Structure 1
């Protein structure tokens, strides 16, 4: 059999030029396929047929990459309640519920959202929308500036906790053990737990999440910021 002729590098199809947009787009597809935890700079470099060092021209580190990926997914958040009619609290809850729903099936991304600092256009649109609704509710501007951070933090933590546990094989057994421990608590050793009993785990997830938001809004309404803030 005749040997095949070697293929010159000049005859091979050229690889597409890298850009920040192409790097982030490839990372988004890997997150969809593998989950956030498995999207490292090395794995992404393999996907793009390049070396990891080449990627640092476009993103500083994995945290910045995850922040950029997060911003892409935030385009799915429904912001139509911001300009809709109706009670401002219901509209705010609608935005936060949509935000949580985007992160819930991607708990790794939700956990990353708690420690990264996204600054992309979709994140800015989300923050601006929440601030608009707080303004519509008469929340003083200085308190709204802090309240938006707390509201998004609670929504992010909710998605991270429940999304992670939904994917954990042992979650149901752990929940049953916790319910049994609270229900059967010794009144002599833990009188307050015994007195409340089932109340400690009452309510559905959405009910509790909505209550968290209402508590935060009530607190922001009546709680002024410190007169002298620590620099």
Structure 2
């Protein structure tokens, strides 16, 4: 559709084509008014206005400056609840696994209709390696299991780590029992006489010289 502007018509000069002095009350040029008769009218729906506002706010990086629709607000509410639950979940892991957690929690974020970022997933890395001493391994795996099950609603991955920690703990207990049994056998074994021992009945086993008070063993 062509845009047409109305241009005022030129008035003929009362002086004809010759020179003419300005009159005492010269006419002012008519203002160029855009009336509904000479311009296009475009109507924008309420939904379109909301989308425009949201687009402008997102482009400007100003969250919370738009009026959200009912569906958009519902999505924001869901994202807010998810953000709170996920961060509380990971904090529970870190608190119970203090000393075993490697680094902090890492999160994946999603931008909501309001332009804000919300956590939609998270993870915490924890050390589940065995220690040299089986007893230390048992203590460590008990803490790993507590850390894995610390959140109010452990995930499937959390339960898997807890099960793995229980298995390692059971293996460490078996190892510790074997070590204790071997140690008891060594303690109960009879002590054999040393081949280097010299019976006291052997004459001249000890030589006490009157000139020099030295205690020496004679072969």
State the TM-score bracket (shorter-chain normalisation): under 0.3
Taking structure 1 as the reference length, the TM-score comes to 0.25
Taking structure 2 as the reference length, the TM-score comes to 0.26
Please tell me whether Structure 1 or Structure 2 has the larger radius of gyration of its CA atoms: 2
Larger % of strand: which? 2
Larger % of helix: which? 1
